[in-house]
Structure 1
Amino acid sequence: MLHPRCLPQGRQVIDPDLLKILANPLEPDRPPLREEGDYLVCTKTGVGFPVVGGIPHLLPEDAIPVEKMKEILSAR
């Protein structure tokens, strides 16, 4: 399921086929997620979820609020 290849920075990437089926579990219409480095970000709301060791953490308690996610992404 998870692709073992790594980016030059050493981050693992989510297999594109898996990414196609992952969705924001907090939204009733389950909008898709996009990969942003070590995070998956909701394409509708901007809420983020960490990817740790190549494993997406999609539990509600792991969600990163929109404003915090913006800070994280702008610091890169």
Structure 2
Amino acid sequence: MGDMGDAADLPDLAYVGAKIVHSTFGPGKVTFVGPYKGVPACSVQFEGHVKALELQYAIPHVRLAEDEVPIQPKKRGWFGR
């Protein structure tokens, strides 16, 4: 089996339950993260189908869904505007 490496090496979206959006397959939910055929991968439940995605190839095409992204406070300017 392949080595998944340190958890710090995994992208932010590589956890079970993460809601993601893939540029081709659309919105989905991560159902598995771990080695698949010896490489780091994740399984994603998209609408009507499940896909196994190798992390190294999926990362450029995947982002966290809007409701998963932590809200960051607006940075205020020098005078508090």
Give the TM interval when normalised to the shorter protein: 0.3 to 0.5
Which has a greater percent of helix? 1
TM-score for the superposition, normalised by structure 1: 0.38
Which has a greater percent of strand? 2
Higher RCO (C-alpha under 8 Å, 6+ residues apart) = 2
TM-score for the superposition, normalised by structure 2: 0.36
